[in-house]
Structure 1
Amino acid sequence: MSDDETDDDSLTRRAYLTHGGTVAVGGLLAGCSGDGSEPTPTDDGDGSATPPATETESTATDDSYSVAMAPMGEVAFESVPERWIAYDGGYADMAVALGKSDGITGIGGADRYYTSVYDELPGVGVDRDRIEAHPEVRTKEEFYELDNDVHLYDPKMLVNWFDWDESDVAEIAENVAPFLGNLIFRRSDEWHDYRYYTLYEAFERVARAVREVERYRAFRRFHDEFVADVRARLPPAEERPNVFLTYEGTTEPETFSPYRLDDRGTSKKQWRDLGVTDALAGTDIENLSTTNRGELDYENLLEVDPEVILVRGHERKSPSEFRDTVLDYMRNHPVGRELRAVQAGRVYRGGYLYQGPIHNLFLTERAAQQLFPGVFGEVTSDERLFDRQRVADIVNGEF
């Protein structure tokens, strides 16, 4: 299969065994929900209500079931996965939220899986030693070695980022376990020519794969209540700042890689939920992607002159450490100090590239306090916008 083809109707070994040689195309989510209830539309904060995942029950055995997701298509399971691995922290966070942290065997990129937020949730955590033992799982040999029951990876990402062939994907799906994942943190890669999902659409599919739909629904209800409460307290749209989101991992930034908030990737969900304006709106500046690696210098950025600058690449710094390094450098830069965001001290850490449902709660709280401290409290304050214990109860199965 060529790189520009999708594999929505590709067949895993388990899918073939379960469906007797018949598989549904991934875009046609036929069947009924796993608990017999009618599915309801979901809204991930971007205004687009879409039906949730549906699950096709198999008649091959009493225990088999399937989940549909692009680009894999219909993915079947003979039993509930116990051992799992995710490429990024977003999908790993989904599994943790569903009470499956004990099953992690490693991750595709440990450096961008931020687990410190779990420290604020009683009884919630993940074994960091296992993650650090296998911090960059990207080769077939490692997939064989870890012998997982499901791989929360977008297989097209392996093909386009790590030089896998389609035959390599098929081999691992047949000999080890199926893939279930879709690269959703941004929507600007040319090779991603199949369906995207919102954070909660992807989260629901993972929940169906590990048979934790009720826990997902409890989390969904909590999320919707939290976001509704925050939105109800926001100032009018005309009083909200415009925001420039960028990546620059050094403490002495000279250039800035741009992100567009309007591409609806999950890594920008909190900013959309807060109704902020993209400072790049109306410009011809493209979003950072696999094919676009363009950067802006201070002169370029001064032409945009955003009210708030959010810099990614500094999540292991505290707010004060960030201000004492990155912001301090920009304040002393001959051009940087002319930016109104710098003059006002409105330069902040930009949040995780890969965020799951637990991450998103914390990042939305942080973003609200960064942008609207008069309403939600300073980002360095002890004010909390959501109930940590209630989140922990859902993760721990008490809902």
Structure 2
Amino acid sequence: MTQNRRRFLGLTAGALAGGLAGCTGGDGTPTGNATDTDGDASYTVSMAPTGEVTLDSPPETVAHYFPDYGDMAVALGHGDSIVSMGLPSRFHTDHYDELEGVSVDEESMTPLVGDAGISREVFYELDSDLHMIDPQWLINNGAFKLSEEDVAEVEEEVAPFLGNAIFRRTDGWHDYRYYTLYDAFRKVAEVHGEVDRFEALRSFHDEYVTEIQTDLPAADDRPNALLCFAGGDEPESFYPYRLTDKGSNKKAFRDLGIGDALSGTGIEGLSESDRGTIDYETIMEVDPDSILLRGHEDKSREEFEDTVLAFMKDDDVAGELTAVQNDMVFRGGPIYPGPLHHLFLLERYATGYFPDTFAGELFDRDELASIITE
């Protein structure tokens, strides 16, 4: 590897509708697909399932549910527009600490989800310029207790909805177009009038991923993984996910070519309709090369090893698993990773899975921060 050495450091150790134009000028203002009526410029952004949304100017306040879309706003320099999150505790933001000048105020975000679900009134209280939320997610999640009429009223009385649930692809109601992480990111950039910045970030991402994939071991030499949700320091019951799902929260694993240990086993993954669990005996039948456990993003690698992995090593059955014996048990990442978080996750898993090839920081934090802040 000889190129992009400044940008990608330490790599060796020993996407209803298609994209709508929406360009930006050099000052970040939306141009293209815009109209000018009596001096008021407006522009449209189109995204399934809502279709076209017309905006008079980039929104100053945006209601979010999904942390991945929040991370997109931060990446585009508009973190201060975020006024809500479904559950702010799921918006993991430690990675911003490594990017000078990049931050977000989590404490100022109103949680949408309460004990009784999501109240229609919270959207009136927020009075946002835009709801960057897939409305079908709100309508079809029974725990939220929001009807189609509720959402239509909010859209009519407060502000439009624009968004697409991209983190997974297992919901039966999601019968409209899915977007990749960067397809959705482009739409958010159009909303905020930041397509130039988006293109710079996409270029950074593309070169970074290419650099890593160039040095990956041959496909036959890459391990498979069992991805599960299992919170708590002494897990004994696990909700399995499928790495073959093309949702955006599996992107880092796809980039590294990590195989799905459940392929061909008949074990299905966590979905809207399947909430089944598996135990250590079932995992032993699969005996995966590695295990990825979600629900531990508040821990460092060392804290995870001292609690979860230590417990598994001491368990009579878990201790016999190949992944446990080889210390190939890792934190499984957040449920809703955005584009910035993905860059750090890719580094985490590249160095964790292939330590003989990748070590240290794999991309230039300063250059990334400068794209976001300048």
Structure-2-length-normalised TM-score: 0.89
Structure 1 partner of 2:28: none
| Mapping of residues 25-36 of structure 1, within 5 Å | 26-27=16-17, 32-34=21-23
- C-alpha contact (below 8 Å) 1:256/1:296 kept by paired residues: yes
Distance in 2 between residues matched to 1:119 and 1:158, nearest whole Å: 31
Aligned AA for 2:17?
G
Structure 2 partner of 1:68: 46
Rate the CA distance shift 1:28–1:346 in 2: closer, same or farther, 3 A. Answer: closer
Structure 1 partner of 2:128: 148
- C-alpha contact (below 8 Å) 1:314/1:322 kept by paired residues: yes
RMSD: 1.7
Q: Bigger relative contact order, structure 1 or 2, given CA contacts below 8 A and separation 6+?
A: 2
Structure 2 partner of 1:392: 369
Structure 2 partner of 1:262: 244
Of 253, 278, 289, 2:260 maps to 278
Aligned AA for 1:392?
A
Rate the CA distance shift 1:277–1:118 in 2: closer, same or farther, 3 A. Answer: same
Of 289, 312, 316, 2:294 maps to 312
Aligned AA for 1:123?
G
CA drift at 1:135: 6.3
Of 85, 89, 95, 1:107 maps to 85
| Mapping of residues 1-399 of structure 1, within 5 Å | 26-27=16-17, 32-34=21-23, 56-58=33-35, 60=37, 62-131=40-109, 133-134=110-111, 136=113, 138-161=118-141, 162-377=144-359, 383-397=360-374
Structure-1-length-normalised TM-score: 0.84
- What percentage of residue pairs aligned between the two structures are identical? 51
CA drift at 1:60: 4.9
Q: 5+ residue gaps in structure 2?
A: 1-15, 26-30
- C-alpha contact (below 8 Å) 1:122/1:392 kept by paired residues: yes
Distance in 2 between residues matched to 1:394 and 1:27, nearest whole Å: 29
4+ aligned runs moved over 6 Å, structure 1: none
Q: 5+ residue gaps in structure 1?
A: 1-25, 37-53, 378-382
- C-alpha contact (below 8 Å) 1:55/1:208 kept by paired residues: no
CA drift at 1:361: 0.4
3-state SS of the aligned residue for 1:191? coil
Rate the CA distance shift 1:67–1:120 in 2: closer, same or farther, 3 A. Answer: same
Distance in 2 between residues matched to 1:390 and 1:135, nearest whole Å: 34
CA drift at 1:75: 1.3
Distance in 2 between residues matched to 1:256 and 1:101, nearest whole Å: 34
CA drift at 1:283: 2.2
Distance in 1 between residues matched to 2:113 and 2:85, nearest whole Å: 6
- C-alpha contact (below 8 Å) 2:288/2:323 kept by paired residues: yes
CA drift at 1:136: 3.6
Structure 2 partner of 1:49: none
CA drift at 1:27: 2.9
CA drift at 1:32: 4.1
Cα displacement string for residues 328-386 of structure 1 (whole angstroms, at most 9, x for unaligned residues): 11111111111100111110101111011110000000010111011112xxxxx1001
Rate the CA distance shift 1:237–1:124 in 2: closer, same or farther, 3 A. Answer: same
3-state SS of the aligned residue for 1:291? coil
Cα displacement string for residues 286-311 of structure 1 (whole angstroms, at most 9, x for unaligned residues): 22112110111111111111011010
Cα displacement string for residues 263-286 of structure 1 (whole angstroms, at most 9, x for unaligned residues): 110001000000111111122222
CA drift at 1:256: 1.1
Rate the CA distance shift 1:102–1:175 in 2: closer, same or farther, 3 A. Answer: same
Aligned residues: 348
CA drift at 1:79: 1.8
Distance in 2 between residues matched to 1:32 and 1:313, nearest whole Å: 38
